[in-house]
Amino acid sequence: MSNALAAETKPRQHVPLNGVDTPTLFATINAVKAQPELAKFQFRATNHWMTGTHNRTRIETFSGAGSEHRHTGDVQFDADHPAVLVGSDNAPTPVEFLLHAIAACITSGIGNIAAARGVKLTEVESTVEGDIDLRGILGLSDEVRNGYERMRVNFKIKGDAAPEKLREIVEQSKARSAVFDVLTRGTAVEVTADCATA
Amino acid sequence: MSNALAAETKPRQHVPLNGVDTPTLFATINAVKAQPELAKFQFRATNHWMTGTHNRTRIETFSGAGSEHRHTGDVQFDADHPAVLVGSDNAPTPVEFLLHAIAACITSGIGNIAAARGVKLTEVESTVEGDIDLRGILGLSDEVRNGYERMRVNFKIKGDAAPEKLREIVEQSKARSAVFDVLTRGTAVEVTADCATA
């Protein structure tokens, strides 16, 4: 969900590389090009509160490419607040999953884009940091925002290409990353609630 | 990481409720009020690419309240693309972790805020949906954004208070949610890369 292959649609020979089935990937892109409604996806999650700040999300089904799909891998993820914030630390905090999302999105894109460009990767590591001033969410300052003030992602990437070519792959992945787009530009989020006394 | 307790700092008796140690929570807020530098937190993650679009994030340490901390719960989370997008579906896609993050953040806040307001919760469930047109990330249209066009979160909440009071708790949690703030307003994300031929 994070790659950008536009410039790659009429390229060299496509052979599987980096664990990416490049011929099928390009066949998929061409299918979507011919039938744009296949590009409409809806992702879904359900969450239930357990106790305190501890809650659990299941990510099971999604629609796209004209049909319904069900994930086969891990589907259950907890979140909690740490002890220093009076939680039970059963899992990372919600904001830390934003760090996972951005690293994972750009990394998945790097895998695909490198394969499309015929570059064999040997290592892709990244570290992500997010700075946040909790006076926002604690309601102690109206001048401090609730969310991250800034985030940084640093990649360490090795492959059989010149460093500049590897850097271009990272840049292209960022330029077409779904998560980077949402985190930097924001999106509309509607929140509704059905409430009952019980 | 998602609550808003501002209006609650001089309230009724605080007793533990909903699994929230409310007296300690307010003591923490008052400590931060007296010493604002305690509010500065840095969250971190490291990710490594495995193969194709499959990668793994570890979320282990963070700093805040003047010291270093280490999570004790789950710390490892995978991401992948599904088969329909030519991945191996070892885990949800990166964008689906944004759904987990927003549901978890507002839900954690609901637990804390309800406790602060003396409301006993019996159920908090939520469903999240995100609509995305993949022509963006596939590079097939310059008019389609890469990320979600819109997201919806619907809560179903039950507790020993009037529906309107429960609704106000959801609203207050949203108003002070770190993840809601980042997803709706965006934040600065710097991406750098150290590249080596190998």
pLDDT in tens, A153-189: 999 999 999 999 999 999 999 999 999 999 999 999 9
Q: Which residues of chain B have a CB within 8 Å of the CB of A40?
A: 131-134
Give residue A73's pLDDT. 85
Interval A49-71 mean pLDDT: 98
Give residue B14's pLDDT. 83
Which of B190, B189, B54 lies closest to A107, judged by CA? B54
Q: Do B71 and A92 touch (CB under 8 A)?
A: yes
Which of A50, A47, A28 lies closest to A39, judged by CA? A28
Q: Which of A46, A129, A140 sits opposite B126 (nearest CB)?
A: A46
Q: How far apart are CA B97 and CA B183, in angstroms?
A: 12
Q: Do B150 and A4 touch (CB under 8 A)?
A: no
pLDDT single digits (tens) A109-152: 999 999 999 999 999 999 999 999 999 999 999 999 999 999 99
Interval A34-49 mean pLDDT: 98
Give residue A5's pLDDT. 56
Helix axes A94-116, B178-185, angle to 10 degrees: 40
Q: Which residues of chain A have a CB within 8 Å of the CB of B176?
A: 136-137, 139, 146
β-strands B40-51, B61-64 pairing? antiparallel
Q: Which residues of chain B have a CB within 8 Å of the CB of A113?
A: none
Give residue B5's pLDDT. 55
Q: Do A129 and B98 touch (CB under 8 A)?
A: no
Which amino acid is located at A41 in the chain? F
Interval A64-87 mean pLDDT: 96
To the nearest whole Å, the CA of B84 is away from the closest chain A CA by 8
Q: How many CB pairs under 8 A join A and B?
A: 578
Q: Do B178 and A94 touch (CB under 8 A)?
A: yes
Q: Which residues of chain B have a CB within 8 Å of the CB of A198?
A: 122-123, 158-160
Confidence of residue A74 (pLDDT cuts 50, 70, 90): confident
Give residue B103's pLDDT. 98
User: Which residues, in sequence order, are bridge partners of residue B43?
Assistant: A130, B62
How high is the mean pLDDT of chain A? 94
Confidence of residue A1 (pLDDT cuts 50, 70, 90): very low
3-state secondary structure of B21: coil
Q: If you measure CA to CA, which chain B residue comes closest to A111?
A: B52
Q: How far apart are CA B57 and CA B63, in angstroms?
A: 18
pLDDT at residue A16 tops 70: yes
Q: Which of B41, B52, B164 sits opposite A18 (nearest CB)?
A: B52
Q: Do B62 and A82 touch (CB under 8 A)?
A: yes
pTM: 0.94
Give buried/exposed letters for A105-140 (b at 16+ CB in 10 A, else e). Answer: bbbbbbbbbbbbbbbebeebbbebbbbbbbbbbbbb
Q: Which residues of chain B have a CB within 8 Å of the CB of A163?
A: 195-197
Q: Do A186 and B186 touch (CB under 8 A)?
A: yes
User: Which residues, in sequence order, are bridge partners of residue B152?
Assistant: A190, B129
Contact yes or no for A148/B180 (Cβ under 8 A): no
Q: If you measure CA to CA, which chain A residue comes closest to B16?
A: A52
Please give the distance of CA A21 from its chain centroid, rounded to a whole number. 20
- H or E element that contains A106: helix A94-116
To the nearest whole Å, the CA of A113 is away from the closest chain B CA by 10
A32-38 long-range contacts (CB < 8 A, ≥24 apart) are A32/A65, A32/B134, A32/B135, A32/B138, A32/B140, A33/A9, A33/B140, A36/B135, A36/B140, A36/B141, A37/A66, A38/A64, A38/A65, A38/A66
What's the average pLDDT block by block, 10 residues per block, for chain B (198 residues)?
48 83 96 97 98 98 97 94 96 98 98 97 98 97 97 98 98 98 98 97
Q: Which of A111, A190, A193 sits opposite B157 (nearest CB)?
A: A193
More confident residue, A8 or B19: B19
